[in-house]
Amino acid sequence: MRILMLGNSLTFANDMPRMLAELTGVEVVHHTRGGARLSEHLNPATRLGARTEAALADETWDYVVLQEMSHGPVTSPKSFFSSVERLCVQIRRNGAVPVLYATWAYREGCPKLAEKGWTHDGMADALSGAYRQAAQNNHALLADAGRKFRELSGAHNLYADDGIHPSELGSRIAAQCIASAIQSGETEGHPNAETKMDP
């Protein structure tokens, strides 16, 4: 089995793809760039987009994990929903199952929250709602790491010093969420519709 991850530093921080490979026992490849949006993966004129296009056209994958830029689902929802839909079409054409990796709100007190005039809970609700809706719209698996961060961050240090990126523990929890979503095989609104996990 092979997993392709498309995202940015919230995916590659702390070598999280390696953590996912260890949890699942399968090959994990990531196409990432700091600050990248999903729309970049759809643009073959960019280095990242060209790599992704070639990978989906010429290689075989079982799951493809999609992660949008940290605040993208909130600040650019039209681009987010459109990019997810277009990528899911390509992923299914490849014979793979799409997985949405829902990320977390900035840590309480993070200066970025104040800059945008948001609260932690407000950002968390908006991200969770956008990812869940996108997963439902596209019958994709949902790995809701953001919800898990919300549940556990009071008792554990899940953030790096900048309040945006994950700590090593945060990355491990994100990897566990993705592995769990794949192993459950339950798409949003369609339980067990696309399970492909090998024994």
**Residue 93: which domain range?**
2-184
Residues 13, 171 contacting (CB under 8 angstroms): yes
Residue 123 belongs to some domain of the structure = yes
Chain centre distance of CA 69: 9
161 contact partners, CB below 8 Å, separation of at least 6: none
CATH of the domain at 167: 3.40.50.1110
Residue 170 has what pLDDT? 97
Residue 73 belongs to some domain of the structure = yes
Integer CA distances (angstroms), 70 to 4, 105, 109, 116, 195, in order = 19, 8, 16, 13, 28
Average pLDDT over residues 116-136: 96
8 contact partners, CB below 8 Å, separation of at least 6: 32, 33, 34, 35, 36, 37, 67, 69
140 contact partners, CB below 8 Å, separation of at least 6: 66, 84, 88, 97, 98, 99, 100, 134, 187, 188
At 27-76, the pLDDT tens digits run: 999 999 999 999 999 999 999 999 999 999 999 999 999 999 999 999 99
Residue 198 belongs to some domain of the structure = no
Residue 132 belongs to some domain of the structure = yes
Alpha-carbon span 40 to 196, nearest angstrom: 27
At 75-123, the pLDDT tens digits run: 999 999 999 999 999 999 999 999 999 999 999 999 999 999 999 999 9
Residue 190 belongs to some domain of the structure = no
Q: Which of 95, 65, 188 is nearest to 134 (CA)?
A: 188
Counting the structural domains of the chain, the total is 1
- pLDDT beyond 80 at 190: no
Residue 184 has what pLDDT? 87
Residue 100 has φ and ψ, to the nearest 5°, of -95, 120
